[in-house]
Structure 1
């Protein structure tokens, strides 16, 4: 393990970069060739653009191993010290239908992640996909993570998941039962061109629970909002979107292409603008993108930079600063945004079911037939 100094807790909203590099691209769920993808050039490209936060999970096997090895490579470590980037990972989810939120496993998982990343501390650890286990199990796991905070091995504690009502309820329960609020919450697929429930229904309530930062991941809704359709990895076609939603999205992609634009690019711009908004009294937001190649990093950075008002703050190409949105760009895209949402129709703000029907939350597994 690299002898990195421990870092105290600080101002979380200013430490996490507005754009986060997700680690799922190095998982077999997304890419069967995860081990052979060019991870070091991708990280170097992201860091050079100011995308200095990485988010991953042991569930995204073998992402932690791949990213940890890459970050320790001299090609990166000679240029960037551990303090130059912000590292987030998770505990609790082991496989598609396997969860372990016991304090003992949480401790083992954190220690394993520290070893894989060859570091003495992790900036954030989330409890992964909390909707699959009971509220009490999440509270117990969060309590175990706070032990690592006291030891200096974890700096901030959070939860992740899909149903907004579960995230809000658990955040309030953690504050009530443990006497301290969660630092950060991660939600996926619900601050997108198709679904904006996170901002409309969750942000204010999470703020009331004391949460400082909310991360919105999957701006393309795990690959739905792109012309080529959902990704197919080692798990086959696992995407939860119904066929009618997929067809409506394909029709929307045709509309966008007819205006010499691309659905994925439009969706990225929309998501960057939404997470860049800073409403007084509400948690700060960060957007997690999942580039798996240098070209995809460049596309993510271009989308983020294209919505910036560079005359207000920062400079083009550096995404470490808060993004101040160019309002003229908002007006320019509004017609296409409205057109896509008209085509989606009743599928606007549609949320997937999670966990699936028949899941036993108390047991953390599918119920007996």
Structure 2
């Protein structure tokens, strides 16, 4: 099945502002990921305007579950394959193993095509590139370039946490292959807790020729919510130290005392900043998670309030309820809560999971009540 989308169309012209994250259908985030639940979540997300999905073989068994959902007759009767963007990754194999060799990249893409039940992938990222030598990543990008020429994939990206590493590999890739990467995915750094992607990342990515950024983990992988970090079948994998967890909990308690929910507030902040940063030819899409129908419905309702709609889908030009004097202004009450949460986080604000600017583990958290 060939895509009707012109291959020359830059990704920043078609990337939507909200993307459904496939990690919610993995053992990292839920103990019992299921076909039925995935199908229900995907159907509702599309009904509410989502038109892009991001996953990875590492998010086991996300690809298989999504493939079942996307190929189900109830879904295919409403949506064609070219109606949505499907993104996956290569390289990250398990918690302790990565493989960016040409042989594995080819195998991984072929397996993803089979699992997702499609004959092309819109975006393939090299996953968590900081875990291997940069030369290995550049070698993998060469293979992905071949796949773009063959029509197997449409766009190429890299993903990871350290902004400096992502920018350096993007520059080197552009120098080696004569074209910039289409997209970079960075996690947990356009959030109420850490905004380094906005302050530093977007500029260096732009200098490397990258005009599309996917900001994932707007809740810092579940840190910014009242329930605390997710603990599922794979146990407690979250990198936040205990002091940061206490600070996040204190922030959740304060926000609740003001009649709001931290997760909802944090999502509004991330979407607002991504929208503000999407200027000119640069687009910042937010990858939003969710493991249940109720969670997805609440998250997308929150997103609509910030992003508005373009027709039936979530779009860049809609005006949401958070608008004050312009489409880039957050609600005054939200601004006050944003500042309060960041004050509670104190020295843990902008704490980096990669070890940059660490706070002190014993910092005392003062709860604002």
Question: What's the TM-score once normalised by structure 1's chain length?
Answer: 0.90
CA RMSD in angstroms comes to: 1.8
Shift of 1:42: 0.9
Q: 1:202 to 1:327 in 2, by over 3 A?
A: same
* Matched residue, 1:186: 185
* Matched residue, 2:332: 331
Contact conserved, 2:23 with 2:289, CA < 8 A, in 1?
yes
Q: 1:282 to 1:198 in 2, by over 3 A?
A: farther
Cα distance in 2 between the residues matched to 1:290 and 1:228: 15
* Matched residue, 1:353: 354
Shift of 1:320: 3.7
Alignment partner of 1:21: what SS? strand
Q: Which moved more, 1:326-335 or 1:205-214?
A: 326-335
The match for 2:314 among 319, 323, 340 is: 319
* Matched residue, 1:143: 142
Taking CA–CA contacts closer than 8 Å with sequence separation of 6 or more, which of the two structures ends up with the larger relative contact order?
A: 1
Shift of 1:49: 1.7
- Which 5+ residue runs of structure 2 have no aligned equivalent? 325-329, 357-369
Superposed, 1:113-262 pairs within 5 Å as 113-262=112-261
Shift of 1:7: 4.4
Cα distance in 2 between the residues matched to 1:116 and 1:279: 33
Q: Which moved more, 1:145-154 or 1:232-241?
A: 232-241
Cα distance in 2 between the residues matched to 1:195 and 1:278: 15
Cα distance in 2 between the residues matched to 1:318 and 1:279: 18
* Matched residue, 2:345: 344
Aligned residues: 349
Q: Which moved more, 1:232-241 or 1:126-135?
A: 232-241
Cα distance in 1 between the residues matched to 2:132 and 2:354: 15
Cα distance in 1 between the residues matched to 2:203 and 2:92: 27
Shift of 1:41: 1.5
Q: 1:251 to 1:5 in 2, by over 3 A?
A: closer
Alignment partner of 1:98: what SS? coil
Alignment partner of 1:123: what SS? strand
**Superposition misfits of 4+ residues, deviation over 6 angstroms:** none
Q: Deviations along 1:114-139, whole A, 9 cap, x unmatched?
A: 11122111000000000001111111
Q: Which moved more, 1:327-336 or 1:252-261?
A: 327-336
Cα distance in 2 between the residues matched to 1:187 and 1:279: 15
Question: What's the TM-score once normalised by structure 2's chain length?
Answer: 0.90
Alignment partner of 2:170: what SS? helix
Alignment partner of 1:340: what SS? helix
Contact conserved, 1:163 with 1:354, CA < 8 A, in 2?
no
Contact conserved, 1:8 with 1:155, CA < 8 A, in 2?
no
